[in-house]
Amino acid sequence: MARIDVSRWIDSHPMTPRQLWVVALAGLIITFDGIELVIMGSVLPIIAKAWHVSPLALGSVNAMPLIGSMLAAFVSGPIADRIGRKWVVVASVFVYGVFSWITAGATDFQQLLLLRFLVGVGIGGSLPNVIPLADEYSPRRLRKTMVAIAFMGITIGGVVVSLVAETVIPHLGWRAMFSDVAGIPALVLGLLAIVTLPESIRFLVAQGSRTAQIAAMLRRIDPQAPLSDADQFYLSEETPRGFPVRHLFDQGRARNTILLWLMFLFNFLAQYLVNTWLTIILTRAGFTLADAIWGLIAIEGSATIGGLLLGLGADRRNPKVILIAGFLLGAAGLVLLGMVHGFWPVMAMLFVYGLGIVGAQFGLNGLAASIYPVTARSTGVSWALGVGRFGAIAGPFLGAVLVSLKMPITEVFILAAIPALLAMGAMAFMDLAKTVAPTWEAAAESQ
């Protein structure tokens, strides 16, 4: 009988197809958050015209899934840290799929509001819990990169919806975006997750039981490993007991937790202000709806590139410097966006904005998963995302006010850059020495 540190065991092995599948499946689930970020923007002009909805009312449609997501995030993380990640994720995916499909049958504005709220509940329960799964199945040297790769799902979802919208809406109508593009694929993915998504192995070790299941999961990673069901498995990292939210502030983590929340809040505010209202802002500036949708594609495509580069950089260099650079780059893109004219200059600045600000969100998710112990990791990620949703809710409403006031496009995008600069300031005060996972400096020294 041997004593095996599971964290060190995973760190000492290369990524295997089994671990890559966990990251890929997490990415597929995260795709639906990307769909939500773009899907309303693609149908808003049509709904506003068909149902005679004011800009302020449209702001509430955009906010309802964010409110549902925020509430679900606050609840789902502590639940997952108690009972496990897998079944919280599976249930949330089904909630999203069912209510997205039902949204296609909405007959009035009030029904749409309620259904969008329930769709948000599904997103809020799944996203915070698949991020820790991607993190916990990855070796230390690749964790932020793997989280960034998984989080590429959000931009892939946005790009796919933007491209599909150009074909689906003219031929099948806006309702098909919710049933055929969002609902049915989510239900299929939920079934796939039941069969193939594993429970967090670190969570199982922290629970101190099910050693045979842990050994079997490690054998799937390395079939040649000399493991026995009688082996004792443990984690060298901290595994505190008790109410998970309390651990976000224990052991000197209070400062980092508050700063992390501020970064999520400000970054989501900037993203949702720009992404939600971009099509309407650009069409009012003289762009066609098709050209405005290409703006969303530019954002999502550049965010995929930026997120991967920032994730790789954060695993190899100081994450603080990498994320500060991302926020600064994105803010510069927004300021310049309000000053340029013509299709290609506008697309270029949207590309820069997505590369920096939206890409930085990839790094923030990886950072959130690295600064908390395993028994509070889902809670840490979910509460950061929950607080961030306050910014995501405020963004659409702020955009509604600015659109109603007919504010010049230059001033709109300059205002959107301010939260990004505030997020950059919060990052500057983070103390990355107070992390559960080894810092980039310690990792470098150990190699």
Where does the pLDDT of residue 439 fall: very low under 50, low under 70, confident under 90, or very high at 90 and above?
A: very low
Q: Does residue 54 or residue 135 have the better pLDDT? A: 135
CB atoms within 10 A of CB 309: 17
Give the percent of the chain with pLDDT over 90: 37
370 Cβ partners below 8 Å, 6+ apart?
Answer: 135, 143, 144, 435, 436, 437
- Amino acid at the residue 89: V
Q: What pLDDT is stored for residue 193 in this prediction? A: 96
Exposure string for 64-89, b = 16+ CB within 10 A, e = fewer = bbbbbbbbbbbebbbbbbeebbbbbb
What's the confidence (pLDDT) of residue 442? 38
pLDDT at 355: 92
pLDDT digits (tens, 9 = 90+) for 293-310: 888 888 878 888 888 888
Burial string for 2-33 (b: 16+ CB within 10 Å, else e) reads eebebbebbbeeebeebbeebbebbbbbbbbb
Closest C-alpha to 78, from 380, 316, 306, 305: 380
**Residue type for position 141:** R
pTM: 0.79
pLDDT score at 34: 82
**Distance, CA of 207 to CA of 194 (rounded, Å):** 21
CB 141 within 8 A of CB 315: yes
CATH dotted code for 3-442? 1.20.1250.20
Would you say residue 446 has pLDDT above 70? no
Distance (Å, rounded) from C-alpha 72 to C-alpha 381? 12
For 287, left (φ over 0), alpha (ψ -120 to 50), or beta?
Answer: beta
Q: Specify the pLDDT at position 176.
A: 93
What confidence score (pLDDT) does residue 363 get? 86
Rounded to an integer, what distance in angstroms lies between the CA atom of residue 156 and that of residue 30?
9
Name which of 270, 257, 284 is nearest 407 in CA terms: 284
Percentage with pLDDT > 70 across the chain: 94
Q: How far apart are CA 410 and CA 388, in angstroms?
A: 25
Lowest-confidence pick of 331-345, 354-368, 409-423: 354-368
pLDDT tens for each residue of 247-256: 888 878 899 9
How far is Cα 73 from Cα 170, in angstroms, rounded to an integer? Answer: 35
Contacts of 87 (CB under 8 A, 6+ apart): none
Nearest to 423 by CA among 261, 252, 273: 261
What average pLDDT does the structure give for the chain?
Answer: 86
Q: What is the largest CA-CA distance in the chain?
A: 72
Mapped onto helix, strand or coil, the DSSP state of residue 5 is strand
Q: Provide the residue ranges of all domains of the chain, joining segments of one domain with +.
A: 3-442
Strand partners, 273: none
Q: Is the per-residue pLDDT at 37 higher than 80? A: no
Given a cut of 50, is residue 447 above it in pLDDT?
A: no
